[in-house]
Structure 1
Amino acid sequence: MLPESNSPIRPALSRLLVAVLVTAGLIAPVHFARAAPADLVEQEVVFPSGELTMHGTVIAPAATSNSRRPAVVMVHGSGRVSREGYRQEAESFARSGIVTLIYDKRPKRSETDVDFSLLANDALAGVRTLRTRADVDQARTGLWGVSEGGWVAPLAASRSADVAFVVTVGGPGVSPARQQSWNLVNRFAAAGVSGSLPDTVSRTTLGLIVGAGFFPEPGYDPVPVLRRVTQPVLGLWGELDRVIPGAESMRIFQEAFDRGGNTHYTLRAVPGADHTMRRTSDGFRSLDEISPAYLEQVSSWVTGLAAGPPAASTGAPAQQDRRTVPVEAGAPWLEVAAVAVLLLGFAGYGVGGAVRRLRGRRDVPLARRPARWLAATGLLSVLGLFGYLGYLASTGAKNLGVVVLGRPLPWLVLQVLAVGVVVAAVATIAVAWRARPELARPHRLRLGLLAAAGVVFLPWALHWGLLLP
């Protein structure tokens, strides 16, 4: 450990030097002591993962022991998660005799900057760090992964014999896009939303996001990886998990292990627990209390590995009201083309009229009223749809507001508006057709573009569920 200093410059230079040397592999991971609960000890660590320097905390029992202890690296769920989010569980595991490493997740350059392979490498770097400790049994050093970590931890284990076991918590057995679609449908159902909106958001919108490349690792298939995992596995799912399909995932895990020849797995649903093993009554409103049954299961299973790997065992599955469905990638270019026609027709009609008025010209009054209604309602529908869907995507559909007739109020307004667009389009086309001999060429062009937008709007609105029940 480098000497401490009261100067703010020297500690900064020391940390930089340590990071450079660790990254270059010239020194072993460096440990910095810090305060901990009386029954535990903590050490701050930095360790290399490729070109990146990782920062973490090792939490271990304070009581000295002549025997080496089991150890586990805790692998993050999705999002910008720091090590502190797992401290409560890590301290519980340490109190049961398991040396535990929590670490800060690698920084993301954007929301789509997710690479399961790199995250697996980070987890393996953590395993290598724990295996250097004198109090750790290398033959009982494994991985724990929650949610997204349920994809990452098995991937890491399939790559290295250094991983002695795997614990997954809420591990998905399906692809990320399929899992997210299922999660969104559950949120709508819990809010009392029915009709076309759940399908519009969970499949059409999500499919467009996938097709545009804005959804990270959308089609990642965990099954081939699970078949390559030969280490003992403890798979736990919250009985009331509404984020990932617990029953379906448990079945997929079991089938994959059986086909891969792994006979040392334990798969269980934890009663009264949600996705992250907090106690809950419905899977959505969670208490700030981790399920004691879950903590005990992990601790007893990991410490019990000293007696040998467990035999294959599968318990009753978690609750799952509906199966997952595939998410087909949308065609962004087709959507852009459709929206371009709609905006050109709807917005172009009003802009063209404004330009003519500025030049002192007056439109022929025939077809003016229905055309104005079509232009206004059409533009509001297009902009309103993408504004609302963008809001739902950014919030994960967690705040749907007032629900009327099984529809959130903004969606109900958009559907009524879409019906108005269709009525206005029919009226505009009918009036313009009758009046076509009397219309000047510029006005015929404007009405033609507007009518074309009205025609395109019908299949477009059906595609987005605006004209569906």
Structure 2
Amino acid sequence: MGERDERADELSRREFLEQTALGVSTLAVNVVQASTKLRGQMVEYPSGEIKIPAYLSLPQRSPAPAVLVIHEVFGLNDHIKSVADRVAQEGYVALAPNLFVRASEPPPRDASNVEAIRRAATSLAPDVAARDMQAGLDFLKMRKFARPRFGSVGFCMGGGLSYRLAASGYPELACAVIFYGRTPLELVEKVTCPLLGIFGELDRSIPPQAVREFEEALRRAGKRAEIKIYPGAKHGFFNDTRSEVYDAQAAADAWQRTLRFFREHLGA
């Protein structure tokens, strides 16, 4: 086990003892095996009557600002965990919750099964998911390695949830990134932090015209927002495990744009 893993292991054990009296506990440390190339660990946090499993990845230095990483309709898989690791490598605490723990429908295994994707996406009530995400940020506020200045980034379904989090009124949320998520215009007035919206020109579920309408609504409402539509990019273009939609050039630029946005609003 490397120095980084030993540090995370010791930190997790110490904070378990400190937080048990408050009713917040981590799971037994299960550092992912090196063969997966993942560097974080699974934890859990309370939200209402249940506990939410989540993947936690820590930066080299702490305390640090934190980013909530919100999964696609495919759930908390290794791709999303690897995104959390990338966020942590940039100097942020990264927490990726498994929001499907409440859902009646499991995440789909087949990206081509449109009906399974639709059923899974609609099985998550947005207001409940917003509370579970806020509970994740509350969890981080009680951790010594996290500073209470937060951002969020979500993909596909998670992009829409990142937007809803930005409209939920959470006071310490300093910024939110939306990767090709649905953005209902009725929520625009409720947005309380700067937004970065990233979309694909060839996204048939969120066409450029809808993105431009969203951008215009944000402008009229006086909200701080940056919107980018990538030419030739499809829905899901950031996911490098899906060769049918992955666009390496657009993904690389979108990642750098996201990091600049986090540096501007979170520091680190």
State the TM-score, normalized to the length of structure 1: 0.44
Query: Does 2:248 correspond to 1:286?
Result: no
Which residue is equivalent to 2:71? 76
Q: Which of the numbers 227, 245, 256 marks the counterpart of 1:296?
A: 256
- Greater relative contact order, per chain length (Cα 8 Å cut-off, separation 6+): 2
The CA distance in 1 between the partners of 2:212 and 2:70, in whole Å, is: 23
How many Å apart are 1:156 and its aligned residue? 2.4
The CA distance in 2 between the partners of 1:131 and 1:273, in whole Å, is: 37
Query: Does 2:75 correspond to 1:102?
Result: no
Q: Residues 29 and 291 of structure 1: is their aligned pair in 2 closer, same or farther, counting only changes over 3 Å?
A: same
Q: 1:140-173 deviations in whole A, cap 9, x for unaligned?
A: x122122222332222222221322111000224
Q: Which of the numbers 60, 64, 76 marks the counterpart of 2:61?
A: 64
Query: Does 2:232 correspond to 1:232?
Result: no
Q: 1:193-247 deviations in whole A, cap 9, x for unaligned?
A: xxxxxxxxxxxxxxxxxxxxxxxxxxxxx112122102011111123323321x2
Contact 1:164 1:231 in 2 (8 A): yes
Which residue is equivalent to 1:249? 210
Contact 2:237 2:245 in 1 (8 A): no
How many Å apart are 1:306 and its aligned residue? 4.4
More strand by share: 2
How many Å apart are 1:31 and its aligned residue? 5.5
SS in structure 2 opposite 1:164?
A: strand
How many Å apart are 1:50 and its aligned residue? 1.7
Q: Residues 163 and 279 of structure 1: is their aligned pair in 2 closer, same or farther, counting only changes over 3 Å?
A: closer
Q: 1:386-415 deviations in whole A, cap 9, x for unaligned?
A: xxxxxxxxxxxxxxxxxxxxxxxxxxxxxx
How many Å apart are 1:29 and its aligned residue? 3.8
Q: Which of the numbers 267, 272, 296 marks the counterpart of 2:227?
A: 267
Aligned length: 229
Q: Residues 269 and 223 of structure 1: is their aligned pair in 2 closer, same or farther, counting only changes over 3 Å?
A: same
Contact 1:98 1:303 in 2 (8 A): no
Q: Residues 31 and 266 of structure 1: is their aligned pair in 2 closer, same or farther, counting only changes over 3 Å?
A: farther
Q: 1:260-284 deviations in whole A, cap 9, x for unaligned?
A: 321x21111235533223389xx99
User: What amino acid is aligned across from residue 119 of structure 1 in structure 2?
Assistant: A
Contact 1:228 1:260 in 2 (8 A): no
The CA distance in 2 between the partners of 1:288 and 1:306, in whole Å, is: 27
SS in structure 1 opposite 2:87?
A: helix
Which residue is equivalent to 2:144? 134
Contact 1:90 1:101 in 2 (8 A): yes
SS in structure 2 opposite 1:267?
A: strand
Q: Residues 147 and 306 of structure 1: is their aligned pair in 2 closer, same or farther, counting only changes over 3 Å?
A: closer
Give the 5 Å matches for 1:294-373. Answer: 294-306=254-266
Q: Residues 131 and 253 of structure 1: is their aligned pair in 2 closer, same or farther, counting only changes over 3 Å?
A: farther
Which residue is equivalent to 1:28? 24
Query: Does 2:106 correspond to 1:145?
Result: no
SS in structure 1 opposite 2:182?
A: coil
User: What amino acid is aligned across from residue 103 of structure 1 in structure 2?
Assistant: P
Q: Residues 69 and 113 of structure 1: is their aligned pair in 2 closer, same or farther, counting only changes over 3 Å?
A: same
Contact 1:89 1:295 in 2 (8 A): no
Q: Which of the numbers 155, 161, 172 marks the counterpart of 2:164?
A: 155
Q: CA RMSD in A?
A: 3.2
Which residue is equivalent to 2:177? 167
SS in structure 2 opposite 1:240?
A: coil
SS in structure 2 opposite 1:119?
A: helix
The CA distance in 2 between the partners of 1:64 and 1:77, in whole Å, is: 28
The CA distance in 2 between the partners of 1:117 and 1:279, in whole Å, is: 26
Which residue is equivalent to 1:201? none
Contact 2:130 2:164 in 1 (8 A): yes
Contact 1:230 1:261 in 2 (8 A): no
Q: Residues 274 and 231 of structure 1: is their aligned pair in 2 closer, same or farther, counting only changes over 3 Å?
A: same
Structure of higher CA gyration radius: 1
Contact 1:29 1:129 in 2 (8 A): no
How many Å apart are 1:295 and its aligned residue? 1.5
More helix by share: 1
In structure 2, list runs of 5 or more residues that go unmatched.
1-15, 106-118
Q: Residues 105 and 230 of structure 1: is their aligned pair in 2 closer, same or farther, counting only changes over 3 Å?
A: closer
**Percent identity over the alignment?**
25
